[in-house]
Structure 1
Amino acid sequence: MNIRPAAVAGYFYPADAVELQTELGALIPPASATVSAPAPLRALIVPHAGYRYSGVIAGAAYACLSAGAFQRVLLLGPAHRVALRGIAIPSVAAFDTPLGAIALDRAGLDSLRALPFVQQRDDAHAKEHALEVQLPFLQRQLGAFTLLPLVVGDCEPEQVAMVIEQFADAKTLIVISTDLSHFHSDAEARVLDAETIAHIENAEPMLEPEQACGAMPLNGFLYFLNQHSHGDGARGKPQLLRAGNSAEYGGPADRVVGYASFCVH
């Protein structure tokens, strides 16, 4: 079977399966520690740095999941490694991690190839950490599932929303991978990230890459939420679970990266 091997195991997270499971157990709090659910969970917004920096913040979101809750995951993140216009899908049958291979929803991915802004580009996926670091969390919490991994480059929110629309159902979890501001002082980052968090909580698809490195997939998801708003307050809007930055976890205080995690019901 044609498989994308893990590219950042041993760097962003442990390469040893036992060590990885132990670390995941420490990063994900008990389900009782998460926010109450006003409606069924539909999506998570999570950071994608190394686990030592953003793992606790991501873990707060993954604690919302339970085994078997979803059969499929639509995972969208930014392109860090290649210049990309539109959305990139892989050609492989599975993505590997130290916890095992995850089968891709090949039929679902192939259905996207008819869209003019979707390309099949394995180079966009080969070294991309924004998607890969989410996979062990998902494996631990959900068990078996199929995966729709999408790397989003320069893309209109309406285009991303069109793709999300195609797969959004009760059996599919949507995961948006993004960090917040980059390389400001701790004090400056806290102000900037608070503003960005407010935009996300209000489902305002107006973010720039300077505010969130995953602005392209995130804006598309927020646009999708607006298209499906029920007009009943918090329902359908991202709910902040935890926020912080790399300085809190050992990084330099004069050059921080911001993180936040959200759930959407």
Structure 2
Amino acid sequence: MARKPVAAGMFYEDDFSELDKQIITCFEEGTGSLPASKKDKDIKGIIAPHAGYAFSGKCQAWAYKEVGEAEMPSVYIVLGTNHSGIGGTCTLIEDFEMPFGKVKVDKEFAKSMIGKSINENKEAHSKEHSIEVQLPFLQFVNKDRLKEVMIVPILVRHGEDYERLAKDIVNTAKQLDRKIIVIASSDFTHYGISYAYIPFTDNVNKKVHEMDKKAIEFLEKMDAFSFIEYVNTNQMTVCGAYAIAAAVETCKLLGGEKGKLLRYYTSGDVTGDYGNSVGYGAILFK
């Protein structure tokens, strides 16, 4: 059995050739070029958004250019947002069926994590798009070794003990002799009546930018605690805040020293609708 896609045809194209064109366009209009063929960068992880590619794809391209130019790891740890809350922090022991072909789950790694800080929950993963939306980009930048792409999908609940989760991930990687790169899937501030979040009504786009950029400053310093404190104090609607925090802590344990904001904008910057908008950030950890 493999998990069937739930976002294909909505968040991204469901046809192989159309999806390929869509992602190429995201790179051309985002970073300006496709990832270089030389794969020698040493990166620890990234944060990438998970909205429809028409909105956040150009931002995703910035993060995946770094992934595509890095040495391919044994496995990618993909930390998603558990939007439904079902199952808490959970993994899936099933491969992902995708338009570009199947993405394999490192089942040994995932099973080794179960019973520590995570459990397995098929229902949560069957309805959640945040991990799935990362996979076409991940496959695209690994075209030359497509069948070797392996992931461990983990949906992270709000309020998760992110330090414990990070330690469990790194310890498992060491025990199984896996080189890993971490991918956190999250958008930033969701503003407007659609998201029940209207902390201000004037200079909206400017203030959303400022609020998100302040949160991102903590991430660039790899300060997960202050990031979470800032998000919670301001009641920010950062859907994957704890997935982000877990990614930061994991990257630190892997030897990461700093984060770098590669690109940030809001959906309002794309559509012109600032009354309801979502922030997107591409961040690199190395």
Cα distance between partner residues in 1 of 2:87 and 2:17 = 36
Task: Compare 220-229 and 191-200 and name the one that shifted more.
Answer: 220-229
Cα distance between partner residues in 2 of 1:251 and 1:164 = 40
Cα distance between partner residues in 1 of 2:258 and 2:178 = 17
1:176 aligns with 2:184: yes
1:7 aligns with 2:6: yes
Displacement of 1:163 in angstroms is 2.9
User: Residues 190-212 of structure 1: CA distance to partner in whole angstroms, max 9, x if unpaired?
Assistant: 11111111111111113236252
Does structure 2 retain, via aligned residues, the 8 Å contact 1:186–1:255?
no
Displacement of 1:139 in angstroms is 0.4
1:99 aligns with 2:100: yes
What are the within-5 Å matches in structure 2 for residues 51-130 of structure 1?
A: 51-66=53-68, 69-85=72-88, 87-92=89-94, 94-115=95-116, 117-130=117-130
CA distance change for structure 1 residues 50 and 32 in 2, over 3 Å: closer, same or farther? closer
One-letter identity of the residue aligned with 1:72: V
Does structure 1 retain, via aligned residues, the 8 Å contact 2:79–2:153?
yes
Does structure 2 retain, via aligned residues, the 8 Å contact 1:196–1:211?
no
Cα distance between partner residues in 2 of 1:51 and 1:171 = 29
Displacement of 1:32 in angstroms is 7.2
Does structure 2 retain, via aligned residues, the 8 Å contact 1:73–1:174?
yes
TM-score (norm 2): 0.81
TM-score (norm 1): 0.87
Displacement of 1:225 in angstroms is 4.1
CA distance change for structure 1 residues 179 and 100 in 2, over 3 Å: closer, same or farther? same
Displacement of 1:213 in angstroms is 1.4
1:194 aligns with 2:213: yes
Displacement of 1:187 in angstroms is 2.4
One-letter identity of the residue aligned with 1:45: I
User: Residues 5-45 of structure 1: CA distance to partner in whole angstroms, max 9, x if unpaired?
Assistant: 11110111111111100011111232579xxx9x6112111
CA distance change for structure 1 residues 217 and 99 in 2, over 3 Å: closer, same or farther? same
Cα distance between partner residues in 1 of 2:86 and 2:208 = 26
Displacement of 1:81 in angstroms is 2.3
What are the within-5 Å matches in structure 2 for residues 113-262 of structure 1?
A: 113-115=114-116, 117-142=117-142, 143=146, 144-154=148-158, 155-165=160-170, 166-167=172-173, 171-184=179-192, 185-206=204-225, 207=228, 208=231, 210=236, 212-227=238-253, 236-250=257-271, 252-262=273-283
Figure out how many residues of one structure are paired with residues of the other and give that number.
252
Does structure 1 retain, via aligned residues, the 8 Å contact 2:79–2:131?
yes
Displacement of 1:226 in angstroms is 4.4
Displacement of 1:164 in angstroms is 2.7
Cα distance between partner residues in 2 of 1:225 and 1:73 = 12
Cα distance between partner residues in 2 of 1:204 and 1:109 = 27
Over aligned residue pairs, what C-alpha RMSD do you find? 2.2
SS in 1 for 2:17: helix
Structure 1, unaligned runs of 5 or more: 230-234
How much identity, in percent, do the aligned residues show? 26
Q: What is residue 41 of structure 1 aligned with on the other side?
A: 43
4+ residue segments displaced more than 6 Å: none
User: Residues 108-160 of structure 1: CA distance to partner in whole angstroms, max 9, x if unpaired?
Assistant: 11111231x31110111012111010000000102231111000113112222
Structure 2, unaligned runs of 5 or more: 193-203
Displacement of 1:82 in angstroms is 3.2
